[in-house]
Amino acid sequence: MTTQLAATAIFIIAMNSHTATENFDAVTAGALPDGWIAGVTGRGNPRWAVDADSTAPSGRNVLQQTGSGAFPWCVKKDASIADGFVEVKFKPIRGKEDQAGGVVWRWKDGDNYYVARANALENNVSLYYTTNGRRNTIKYVDAPVAANAWHTLRVEFSGTRIKVALDGKAYIEAQDNRIAGPGAVGVWTKADSVTSFDDFAFGPGK
């Protein structure tokens, strides 16, 4: 193997083993983290920004959605993962219509991605795929989701296999092939949910 090929191989191995975590503490309040974009699937006026939260699991800052919209999202667009995991700590604070916190993966654009979410009003965990701006249900499972408390939502995905866990317990294991290939990862809410997020982690599968 030439020196150049060896260096390339080492770089690929390093990239494939990379796991990243963002706790938003180095971000100025009122701004979005570098490399992140925000929007909404459908109509609405979401407001995503980093803010201080004395209850944050780590540090002092969180990423928070305080507006409203059909399905607000905020994604780390410079990440691209086909198989791996995404995990976040979230706190559903309030909302009359919904109190949801979720994660997205294989995000192609604001109308095409997977999403898993937990809901404090409904006490359940659910898995969806969104195509052409329409959200479609794959599975719902009852689960305790206390409001104004921090929870950990984690999704592992490889090929057609998807596993969704809340607070360390697996609630959904499913097969779905509707959205393939690499995409961005991020967080998600619904309707008038005011939700905080912290310790956002993602990486490729083993």
Provide the pLDDT for residue 16: 41
For 146-168, the pLDDT digits (tens) are 999 999 999 999 999 999 999 99
User: Structure pTM?
Assistant: 0.90
Confidence of residue 125 (pLDDT cuts 50, 70, 90): very high
Provide the pLDDT for residue 206: 59
DSSP at 54? T
Domains and CATH numbers, the chain: 3-204 (2.60.120.560)
- Return mean pLDDT, the chain: 92
Tell me the H-state helices in the chain: 3-16
Q: Is the pLDDT of residue 184 over 70?
A: yes
For 59-98, the pLDDT digits (tens) are 999 999 999 999 999 999 999 999 999 999 999 999 999 9
Provide the pLDDT for residue 205: 77
Q: Is the pLDDT of residue 102 over 60?
A: yes
CA distance 113 to 134: 10
Provide the pLDDT for residue 154: 98
DSSP 101-123: EEEEEEEEETTEEEEEEEETTTT
Q: Percentage of residues in the chain with pLDDT exceeding 90?
A: 90
Residue 87 CA, chain-centre distance (Å), reads 7
Q: Is the pLDDT of residue 13 over 50?
A: no
Largest Cα–Cα separation, the chain? 62
Average pLDDT of the residues in 182-202 = 98
Provide the pLDDT for residue 162: 98
> Which residue in 157, 115, 120, 156 sits closest to 139, CA to CA?
115
